[in-house]
Structure 1
Amino acid sequence: METQNVTIQVPVRNTQSPFSQMRGAHVAVRVPDYEASKKWYMEKLDFRLIHEWPFGDLQLAYLAPANDDNFWVELLAGGAPETKANYTDLNESLHPAGYHHFCIDVPSVDDTLRELNNRSVTVVGEPFNLPAIGKRLAFIADPWGNLIEFAERLA
């Protein structure tokens, strides 16, 4: 694996903005089967169930990674969602407009994929280094075609 140090210039924080208190909280993922999707995220990714509730004809849940209380995935299930394409090629997935994926940082992309392969998770393409951002990346798909990126900081 090729490594290189990359410095990304992050602008100075704007503490004077009326939105300066905004923080990331969660991403919502639309799935057709509540129980199956909740089980998949909990068994395949070791997510924890934080809270669940009904909303109209939908069932919702907040799930969090095994050791992170700052980022949650919200499952939206029920009703009759439209079918989403299941991609086996990352480049193919980049063409449609709209939501594409969410990302989770990991210490090692390769170790993460090895464990996910043991858990029969669909890997979308091969892992790759992206020197422009100093990261090694890989993508998986849940059974309903929702993409998840794993990112490792390159040394």
Structure 2
Amino acid sequence: MTHRFDHVGISVPDLIAAVMWYRAALHLTEERAFAVPGTDLRGVMLRHDSGYRVELLHRPGAAADGPVQAAGTLGYGHLCLAVDTPEDVDAEFARLVAAGAGVRTGPRPAPREGARMAFVSDPFGNLIELINRTA
């Protein structure tokens, strides 16, 4: 049996705004919207051309933690996207900030020797890491 990454689910306080931001900022397309019968949970599955998916989930009244709390709690911490070159970390960081992402950690060397990384957050505080590991 083999395994491969399929998607990450992210809870958001405003499903429509989140879909619009993720589509524009990460160049994702909508695969399908859904509602879970018997609950007030709704969601939208988005897909990138490279194959990864982001499932945006919304449940009215759900508490939204900020990025500091996300890093200090068990479970989901961040979504990490690999870029092709060290220079792409800087360029993608700048592009996402211009698209409304929050600055969390500017481009810098990663703990792994030769790698470069940065962190932004979506408009709802969910962390997105950018990394290049080619060195």
Q: Same fold (TM over 0.5)?
A: yes
Higher helix share: 2
- Per the alignment, residue 12 of structure 1 pairs with none
SS of residue matched to 1:23: coil
String of CA shifts for 1:11-56, please: whole Å, max 9, x gaps.
xxxxxxxxx3222100100111110111111122221111111113
Alignment counterpart, residue 93 of structure 2, candidates 104, 110, 113: 113
Alignment counterpart, residue 127 of structure 1, candidates 107, 118, 134: 107
Identity, in percent, stands at 32
Q: TM-score, normalised by structure 1?
A: 0.74
- Per the alignment, residue 131 of structure 2 pairs with 151
Unpaired runs of 5+ residues, structure 1, are 1-19
Displaced runs of 4 or more, over 6 A: none
SS of residue matched to 2:2: coil
Aligned partners of 1:33 and 1:78 also within 8 Å: no
- Per the alignment, residue 63 of structure 1 pairs with 46
Is the alpha carbon distance of 1:99 and 1:131 closer, same or farther for their aligned partners in structure 2, counting shifts above 3 Å? closer
Is the alpha carbon distance of 1:139 and 1:22 closer, same or farther for their aligned partners in structure 2, counting shifts above 3 Å? same
Q: TM-score, normalised by structure 2?
A: 0.84
Tell me which of the two structures has the higher relative contact order, counting C-alpha pairs closer than 8 angstroms and 6 or more residues apart.
1
- Per the alignment, residue 16 of structure 1 pairs with none
Aligned partners of 1:34 and 1:78 also within 8 Å: no
Query: What's the Cα RMSD here?
Result: 2.0
SS of residue matched to 1:49: strand
Counting matched residue pairs gives: 130
Unpaired runs of 5+ residues, structure 2, are none
Shift of residue 133, structure 1, vs aligned partner? 5.5
Aligned partners of 2:10 and 2:57 also within 8 Å: yes
